[in-house]
């Protein structure tokens, strides 16, 4: 995984390093608003969003495998101690999700996450882009020669499909971080793979040319050590291919200071467009204004003088760091760049939950984040915000960029839409709504807002279609009122009313019947329902005599009383009472509930592995020498689920003579190409680890998950006769903490011979060890450390 444009923060405030630059002189070059160097196209005059599309999960079929970008150890499910994210997505519109090892959400629902590898996820994101005025997506592409390459290749196809479906544009944005062979590889990748996508109607073009962005030239960080010559050659090569080339450049590119190397000005000026990076450069409104006066104005003047399009980065702010100021930070950044006369905007980022600067739908409150995980929701500063708030700000910012909204420093976007439900009244008003599909801007939320003229309309295709509302908690539902706009002609829709307490298992409250809408009676239909406990109410529409789609302008839900059926308290004191190589026994303290607890679910991550009525359970069918994390939730008679108990992590006992290293987390001193350390524990005899060449000593190690009794290791190379005999000088060391290692087997030559299976077995006095490290100081067959398998045994 590439270490990309992360938390490099300049060491001085904006302006303090500009002793040699005069703001007055720079302002003088802008006597009038800048004229665009290029006409409006797919990036000039438009809003572009950076799109990572890099999340995956076990079971999604992604070639990379595991919890890619969700977990530090991708072979273990994400949890508070094994995570790479700082924000939590709003998961209500994804049709497929994956259980994690996080505690349940604050509302009791399982903590699940999406996979970008699911086409429905990408479709959902591009539908949001369509709904909220994001014109173009810059698909991030990192070094494709590593193990992430096949997954990124497939993601390009998925993004292309979604962009075509939702009439959005996309282009390839290469990130050269840690891509040391970039100069040759990037051309091969473009010619052999990425250029084929320019045939799509959705591929972005500017000035008639396919758009390519190269992010990372000139940055002062060691991960981008390129000199000006190779960078300039690559830019000119892409231009010779007929591309419009954007440069993702350092904040201080023009001065060659702070995050920019000196001597790169000719490289920067070779781009058709420049997009300076801004993430983590400031976290205050004053800082944004300082950059505007001391950096952006001069940048704009420099670009205007050379016919270069200026496409600055704008950012919502780090949610985890508390920078957002309920939207004011993001709006100030957009406002400053629009009043500057920028030719377009680049939003960082659309789906960057890892750094907390995403605009995609995000958890609104702690009820939508894992309990006790300390993940900030959008209301972190006390202002309630709907999950789509930053998408709505983006839409308003785009309108201001395009002159459809007057330039204003005052944020026009309200944090929430609609009104919250009264204590006793319409329980659906202002609540979160979703649907099976929608037609353009006729979104599900229109049916619960305060505008009687707005409405939801499903997308095309055959019936049925559905619409649903989340009431926020389980309610006693007894009456339904459904409306269409008052001026519409009469029509009848066939509707089934369904309810659910968990959003996944629905039961029928009222069977399919005709809802006759007549303008003479206000196009309103009321139905009395059998009183039912439900949090989610769904209307499934099987037909419409007036239009070939489902249509709802207003859905009102009323209860038999103003009270809510509260969920049980969380179980407490969860503890392990026994374990074997294949089972774990658990016990906990009972929950309480106003209507009575009916049972408990034992969960491993988000998966229910046992259901009991008492306060003990045994989970069996587990793997030996494997770490598992369990929580318990309680359920009441109404189907409400409690928050999760405390989590317990336990490692099952080792099976007799089993390989303790198989599938465990690994690390290394270095590797080349795709020959990473994970290959030594994957069970594939032909995959292997290879260290950097000509740089002994090198090492590879495995983390057994907990201290184990270890007395034997088996080292293997691929068994093929193509791997000729060789001798590697190898030592084995062990550690219980990962930092202080002791010698288990001293360094000596170990002969690997294909005639005997290319295998070496080393035995030693049994020791308590968690980390087993193999250090290689020589190899007669290749100038690097090489291992296909590292097996560890108790004896």
pLDDT at 73 over 70: yes
- Residue 605 is predicted with a pLDDT of 65
pLDDT at 273 over 80: yes
User: 543 is written with which tokens?
Assistant: 């037909």
Of 217-221, 381-385, 573-577, where does the model show the most confidence?
Answer: 217-221
Residues forming beta bridges with residue 526, ordered by sequence position: 481
Average pLDDT over residues 268-281: 96
- Residue 484 is predicted with a pLDDT of 94
162 vs 171: CA distance, rounded Å: 13
Average pLDDT over residues 591-613: 81
Average pLDDT over residues 423-450: 84
How is the chain split among helix, strand and coil, in percent rounded to 5? 20, 35, 50
Min mean pLDDT across 293-297, 424-428, 763-767 is at 424-428
pLDDT bin (cut points 50, 70, 90) of residue 460 is confident
- Residue 203 is predicted with a pLDDT of 97
pLDDT bin (cut points 50, 70, 90) of residue 519 is confident
> Mean pLDDT across the chain, nearest whole number?
88
- Residue 14 is predicted with a pLDDT of 41
pLDDT at 566 over 80: no
Percent of all residues in the chain with a pLDDT value above 70, rounded to a whole number: 92
Q: Within a 13 Å sphere around the CA of 793, how many CA atoms are in the beta-carbon half?
A: 14
Of the two residues 684 and 281, the one the predictor is more confident about is 281
Average pLDDT over residues 84-113: 93
Min mean pLDDT across 39-48, 314-323, 589-598 is at 589-598
Residue whose tokens read 């780090």: 318
- Residue 30 is predicted with a pLDDT of 39
DSSP run (H or E) holding 391: helix 389-401
Average pLDDT over residues 100-116: 93
User: 563 is written with which tokens?
Assistant: 């009270």
Return phi, psi of residue 359, to 5°.
-105, -10
603 vs 109: CA distance, rounded Å: 12
Min mean pLDDT across 6-20, 477-491, 692-706 is at 6-20
Q: Please say whether the beta carbons of 77 and 67 come within 8 A.
A: yes
Of the two residues 359 and 148, the one the predictor is more confident about is 359
Q: Please say whether the beta carbons of 407 and 419 come within 8 A.
A: no
- Residue 418 is predicted with a pLDDT of 46
User: 555 is written with which tokens?
Assistant: 């859905």
pLDDT at 725 over 70: yes
- Residue 472 is predicted with a pLDDT of 76
Of 243-252, 405-414, 661-670, 764-773, where does the model show the most confidence?
Answer: 243-252
pTM: 0.56
pLDDT at 423 over 80: no
- Residue 730 is predicted with a pLDDT of 97
Q: Please say whether the beta carbons of 344 and 213 come within 8 A.
A: no
pLDDT at 8 over 50: no
Dihedral sign for Cα 663, 665, 669, 673, please: positive
Enumerate residues 6+ apart whose C-beta is below 8 A from 539. 466, 467, 468, 482, 495, 496, 497, 498, 550, 552, 555
Of 36-50, 149-163, 364-378, where does the model show the most confidence?
Answer: 149-163
Q: Please say whether the beta carbons of 594 and 613 come within 8 A.
A: no
pLDDT at 325 over 70: yes
Of the two residues 2 and 177, the one the predictor is more confident about is 177
pLDDT bin (cut points 50, 70, 90) of residue 592 is confident
pLDDT at 63 over 50: yes
DSSP at 12: S
- Residue 16 is predicted with a pLDDT of 39
Percent of all residues in the chain with a pLDDT value above 90, rounded to a whole number: 65
pLDDT at 425 over 50: yes
Average pLDDT over residues 369-395: 91
């Amino acid at each position: 995984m590439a270490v990309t444009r992360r938390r490099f923060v300049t060491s001085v405030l904006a302006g303090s390093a500009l002793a040699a630059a005069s703001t007055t002189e720079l302002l003088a070059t802008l006597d009038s608003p800048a004229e665009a160097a290029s006409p409006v196209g797919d990036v000039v005059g438009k809003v572009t969003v950076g799109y990572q599309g890099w999340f995956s999960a076990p079971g999604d079929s992604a070639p990379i495998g595991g919890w890619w970008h969700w977990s530090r150890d991708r072979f273990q499910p994400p949890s508070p101690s094994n995570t790479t994210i700082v924000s939590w997505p709003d998961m209500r519109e994804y049709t497929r999700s994956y259980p994690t090892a996080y505690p349940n959400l604050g509302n009791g629902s399982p903590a699940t996450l999406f996979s970008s590898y699911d086409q429905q996820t990408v479709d959902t994101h591009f539908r949001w882009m369509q709904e909220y005025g994001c014109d173009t997506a810059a698909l991030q592409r990192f070094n494709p020669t590593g193990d992430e390459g096949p997954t990124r290749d497939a993601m390009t196809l998925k993004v292309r499909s979604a962009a075509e479906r939702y009439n959005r544009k996309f282009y390839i944005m290469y990130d050269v971080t840690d891509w040391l062979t970039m100069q040759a590889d990037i051309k091969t990748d473009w010619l052999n793979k990425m250029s084929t996508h320019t045939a799509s109607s959705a591929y972005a073009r500017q000035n008639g040319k396919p758009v390519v962005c190269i992010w990372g030239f000139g940055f002062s960080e060691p991960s981008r050590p390129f000199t000006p010559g190779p960078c300039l050659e690559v830019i000119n090569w892409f231009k010779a291919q007929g591309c419009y080339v954007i440069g993702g450049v350092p904040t201080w590119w023009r001065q060659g200071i702070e995050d920019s190397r000196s001597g790169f000005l000719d490289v920067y000026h070779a781009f058709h467009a420049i997009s300076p990076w801004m993430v983590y450069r400031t976290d205050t409104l004053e800082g944004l204004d300082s950059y505007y006066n001391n950096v952006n104005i001069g940048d704009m003047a420099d670009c205007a003088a050379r016919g270069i399009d200026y496409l600055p980065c704008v950012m919502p702010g780090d949610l985890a760091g508390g920078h957002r100021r309920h939207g004011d930070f993001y709006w100030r950044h957009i406002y400053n760049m629009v009043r500057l006369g920028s030719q377009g905007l680049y939003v960082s980022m659309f789906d960057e939950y890892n750094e907390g600067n995403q605009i995609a739908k995000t958890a609104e409150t702690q009820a939508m984040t894992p309990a006790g995980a300390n993940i900030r929701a959008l209301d972190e500063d006390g202002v309630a915000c709907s999950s789509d708030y930053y998408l709505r700000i983006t839409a308003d910012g785009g309108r201001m960029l395009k002159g459809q909204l007057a330039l204003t420093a005052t944020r026009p976007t309200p944090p929430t839409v609609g009104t919250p439900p009264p204590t006793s009244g319409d329980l659906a008003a202002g609540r979160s709504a979703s649907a099976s599909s929608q037609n353009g801007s006729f979104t599900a939320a229109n049916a619960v807002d305060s505008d009687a003229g707005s409405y939801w309309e499903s997308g095309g295709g055959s019936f049925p279609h559905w619409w649903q509302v989340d009431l926020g908690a389980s309610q006693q539902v007894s009456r339904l009122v459904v409306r269409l706009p008052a001026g519409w002609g009469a029509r009848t829709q066939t509707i089934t009313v369904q309810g659910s307490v968990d959003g996944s298992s629905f039961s029928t409250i009222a069977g399919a019947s005709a809802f006759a809408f007549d303008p003479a009676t206000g196009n309103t239909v009321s139905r009395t329902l059998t009183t039912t406990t439900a949090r989610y109410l769904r209307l499934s529409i099987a037909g419409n005599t007036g239009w070939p789609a489902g249509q709802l302008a207003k859905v009102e839900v009323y209860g038999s009383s103003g009270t809510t059926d509260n969920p049980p308290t969380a179980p407490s004191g969860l503890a392990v009472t026994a374990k074997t190589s294949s089972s774990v026994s658990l016990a906990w303290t009972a929950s309480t509930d106003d209507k009575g607890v009916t049972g408990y679910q034992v969960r491993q991550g988000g998966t229910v592995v046992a259901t009991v009525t008492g306060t003990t359970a045994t989970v069996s069918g587990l793997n030996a020498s494997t770490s598992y994390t369990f929580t318990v939730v309680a359920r009441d008679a109404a189907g409400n689920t409690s928050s999760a108990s405390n989590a317990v992590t336990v490692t099952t006992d080792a099976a007799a003579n089993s390989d303790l290293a198989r599938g465990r987390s690994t690390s290394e001193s270095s590797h080349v190409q795709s020959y990473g350390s994970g290959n030594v524990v994957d069970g594939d005899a032909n995959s292997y680890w290879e260290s950097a060449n000509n740089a002994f000593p090198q090492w590879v190690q495995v983390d057994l998950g907990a201290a184990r009794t270890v007395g034997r290791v088996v080292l293997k190379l691929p068994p093929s006769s193509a791997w000729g005999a060789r001798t590697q000088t190898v030592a084995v060391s062990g550690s219980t903490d990962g930092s202080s290692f002791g010698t288990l087997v001293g360094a000596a030559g170990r002969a690997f011979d294909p005639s005997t299976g290319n295998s070496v077995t080393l035995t030693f006095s049994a020791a308590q060890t968690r980390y087993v490290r193999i250090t290689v100081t020589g190899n007669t067959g290749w100038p690097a450390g090489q291992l296909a398998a590292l097996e560890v045994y108790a004896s």
